[in-house]
Structure 1
Amino acid sequence: MQHSRPDGPTTLGADLRALRKSRGLTLIDMADTLGRSVGWLSQVERDISEPSITDLRHIAAALDVSISMLFRHAAAPAHEAGHVVRRDARRTIGSHMAGLVEELLSPDLTDDFEMVHSTFQPRSRIKEAVTRPTQEVGYVLSGKLEIEIAGLTHLINPGDSFRIRGEPFRWSNPFDGPAVAIWVIAPPVY
């Protein structure tokens, strides 16, 4: 996987390239899906061309991410860029559906994994199991979370962790308070 320049912040193009590759898509596949040329997409990924808002909507749909994920987050000071993510500068990711609020803790999507701060609202759940070609580890900081992995349901308390290796899973927070977890996903999916 190509990594960002060590001397500068990661760009939209680098994030797009990482997302495309994490989904197993070639430049040709993605360009065909978008109805654009491979050259144009390559220039976007190298930050030579800037996509329009309409292009970003199409790219977000093709990569199955929210369009807000593609907008730049608060810029870090130059000496922290690519290394530090401050609490108020986290990039919100995911769709917020089903009562889940996710924020990217990783500086960008160019690593072999991503780290996410997940807040599961009280009485929230996803109805359908999710299966992703990933390895994932979660650690519950506060509250309680029920996680079903490959048909088995587990109650995860603060300080407990869990792992998912490409198995179908779903989560629920049937309790009266929020649950907060740190989730590490490889390769990145957002």
Structure 2
Amino acid sequence: MLHSDSFQAKSLGADLRTLRKARGMTLTELAEVLRRSVGWLSQVERDLSEPSVTDLREIASVLGVPISMLFGHVNVPVDEQGFIVRKGARREIGINKAGLSEELLSPDLTDDFEVVHSTFEPHSEVKDIITRPTQEVAYLISGKLDLWIGGRFFTVYAGDSFRIRGEPHRWINPYDEPAVAIWVIAPPVY
């Protein structure tokens, strides 16, 4: 087992800071929305203060993530923190709407990218056009998925991969089986 005494486990605070920055919010802006002091929020982001469950609910709501995303640091063995994500310990991310469920495969959100496991349920679709300032590459593990990327239509099949570089896009799974994909997204958005 490789272990470094200098390794400091990635934390709830670091993930909160990443989520806040991904939404273009300053400490002051988020603190104002939460009706908390900038000092308190700064301490939470530096893991010097632990937010209450009520605080976490409000933070999750403001940042647009499920509260389960913020509880993902619980019950991870210390020697695995920042390195390993066990299948049963993945954190749900996103809003789980339109028949899409997503789980974070990355140990945390402190890297320049995140890795996401996405399942598109049969006969589901996102009706709104998605545009975000990211670069994304996805690999379809199973199923089929119809995509519109930058005004172009594609059908991708198991084993295919695709890239989105900030273009407006949307998806639909009009088929009878789920489509499962692994995404790499930079910078992290969840």
| TM-score, length-scaled by structure 2 | 0.92
- Residues 136 and 184, structure 1, Cα contact 8 Å, conserved in 2: yes
Shift of 1:53: 2.2
How many residues are treated as equivalent by the alignment? 186
Shift of 1:170: 0.8
Extract structure 1 runs of 4+ deviating beyond 6 A.
Answer: none
Query: For structure 2, which runs of at least 5 residues remain unmatched after alignment?
Result: none
Question: Is 1:37–2:37 an aligned residue pair?
Answer: yes
Q: Hey, what's the Cα distance between the residues in 1 that align with 2:100 and 2:175?
A: 14
After TM superposition, the structure 1 = structure 2 runs for residues 10-49 of structure 1, keeping only pairs within 5 Å, are: 10-49=10-49
Query: For structure 1, which runs of at least 5 residues remain unmatched after alignment?
Result: none
RMSD over aligned Cα atoms: 1.6
- Residues 73 and 90, structure 1, Cα contact 8 Å, conserved in 2: no
Could you tell me the percent identity over the aligned residues? 65
Q: Secondary structure at the match of 1:28?
A: helix
Question: Is 1:85–2:85 an aligned residue pair?
Answer: yes
Q: Tell me the residue number matched to 2:127.
A: 127
1:47 and 1:73, CA in 2 relative to 1: closer, same or farther beyond 3 A? closer
Q: Tell me the residue number matched to 1:162.
A: 162
- Residues 12 and 73, structure 2, Cα contact 8 Å, conserved in 1: no
Q: Hey, what's the Cα distance between the residues in 2 that align with 1:156 and 1:47?
A: 42
Q: Tell me the residue number matched to 2:172.
A: 172
Q: Which amino acid aligns with 2:150?
A: A
1:135 and 1:20, CA in 2 relative to 1: closer, same or farther beyond 3 A? same
Q: Tell me the residue number matched to 1:95.
A: 95
Q: Hey, what's the Cα distance between the residues in 1 that align with 2:73 and 2:98?
A: 24
Output one character per residue of 1:108-159: Cα deviation in whole Å (capped at 9) or x when no partner: 0111110001111111111111111111111101100111112211101111
Question: Is 1:111–2:103 an aligned residue pair?
Answer: no
Output one character per residue of 1:70-105: Cα deviation in whole Å (capped at 9) or x when no partner: 113553333322111111111111122111111100
Q: Secondary structure at the match of 2:80?
A: coil
- Residues 127 and 170, structure 1, Cα contact 8 Å, conserved in 2: yes
After TM superposition, the structure 1 = structure 2 runs for residues 143-162 of structure 1, keeping only pairs within 5 Å, are: 143-162=143-162
| TM-score, length-scaled by structure 1 | 0.92
Shift of 1:34: 1.5
Q: Hey, what's the Cα distance between the residues in 2 that align with 1:9 and 1:118?
A: 26
Q: Secondary structure at the match of 1:54?
A: helix
Q: Which amino acid aligns with 2:186?
A: A
